[in-house]
Amino acid sequence: MTDGAAGDDGHGLIAGRYRLDARIGSGAMGVVWRAHDLRLDRGVAVKQLLLPPALDATEADTARQRAFREGRIAARLQHPNAISVFNVAEHDDQPVLVMEYLPSRSLAALLDDRGTLPAEETARVGAQVAAALTAAHAAGVVHRDVKPGNILLGEDGTAKITDFGISRAAGDVTLTSTGLFAGTPAFLAPETARGADPDAAADVFSLGATLYAAVEGGPPYEDPGNEIALLHAVASGHVLPPRNAGALTTSLRAMLRVEPGTRPRMAEVEVLLRRV
C-alpha cells in the first residue's frame, strides 16, 4: 500500500505502516495514540480526527478534504518548538495525522495539578511557543486554536505547540451546520468569536489568554456558566485585568487588546516574554 493510502493492511496497521501501541489522549476532536512507524523504525504520535456525527455525507467529505489540506499545510512548518506533522492518511473513513512523538504532558494537565505557574516559568513557556508561532506566521500558517491543551511540555523543559490548523479541519472554532458551538471559546480572540476568520493577531490574543490562565488560574473572562453566554462575553471583549501576573502584566495587557491591529506581532511577543 502506498504512503498515505486509505485503510490498513489487515494487520491493524494505519496506512500499512503505523502500528498503534497505546492510547495517550483523547478529546472532542480525536484520539491520540503512541505508535511505531515500521517503515522508518521510529516512534510517532497518530491522531485520528473524529468528524462530528451530525454531518451528512457531503459535509463529512468536505471535512475530510479540509483535514488533508490543513495537515499538508501544517507539515510545511519545521521548528524546534512545534510538533512536526509527518504524514496525512485515512483510516475507517476518518482523517489521520502522523506526528512527532514527544514524551510530555500538556500545559492544561500541568495547570490542573498546580493551579497556577509563576510569571517567569509562564514566560519561559510562552516565549518558546511564540517562537514557533512567529515562524508559522512567516510561512503563512495560522494556528487558530492556541490553548493550554495544545501546548506540550517535554521532560527537559522544552515547550512545543501542536495541532496546527486542526481546529479548522475539525470545525472546532466555528459554528457547525447544526448551529451548535464545538469546543470551548474561552481562549478565542473577540473577533474570532464574532465570526471573523482567525489570523496572526488572533493567535497573539489566544496565546495571551493561555498565559493569562497559567498565572491567574483561569481564562481572562468571567465564566457565565454556559458556552453560549461565554461566547457572547468573548465577542464583547470584556477581558478581566490580570491581578497575579507580576512581571507578565504589561505583556498580557498588550496581547489581550480587543482591537487586533493594536496587538503586538508575534515576533514582538517573543521578545517581550524573553525579557520577563
In DSSP terms, 43 is beta-bridged to: 36
| Pairwise pLDDT comparison (88 vs 245), residue with the higher score | 245
The CA distance from 205 to 128, in Å, is 16
Catalytic residue from among 8, 37, 145, 163? 145
Torsion 213-219-225-231 (CA) sign: negative
pLDDT > 60? residue 257: yes
Confidence of residue 9 (pLDDT cuts 50, 70, 90): very low
Confidence of residue 163 (pLDDT cuts 50, 70, 90): confident
- Report which of 214, 274, 276 is spatially closest to residue 242, judged by C-alpha positions: 214
Q: Which three cell numbers stand for residue 43?
A: 516512534
Kindly list the structural domains of the chain, giving each domain's residue range(s) and its CATH number in brackets, ordered by start. Answer: 13-100 (3.30.200.20), 104-275 (1.10.510.10)
Q: Which three cell numbers stand for residue 135?
A: 515562524
Residue partners of 274: CB distance under 8 A and separation at least 6: 123, 127
37 is catalytic: no
> Chain-wide mean pLDDT for the chain?
84
Residue with C-alpha cell 475539525? 170
Q: Are 1 and 141 in contact (CB under 8 A)?
A: no
pLDDT of residue 178: 35
H/E stretch holding 130 reads: helix 119-138
pLDDT of residue 176: 39
pLDDT of residue 167: 52
Region 106-123: mean pLDDT is 95
Instruction: Return the beta strands (E) in 129-173 as ranges.
Output: 151-154, 159-161
Predicted TM-score (pTM) of the model is 0.84
Q: What is the pLDDT of residues 59-78, one digit of tens each?
A: 878 877 877 877 787 788 88
Q: Beta-carbon neighbour count of residue 175 at 10 Å?
A: 12
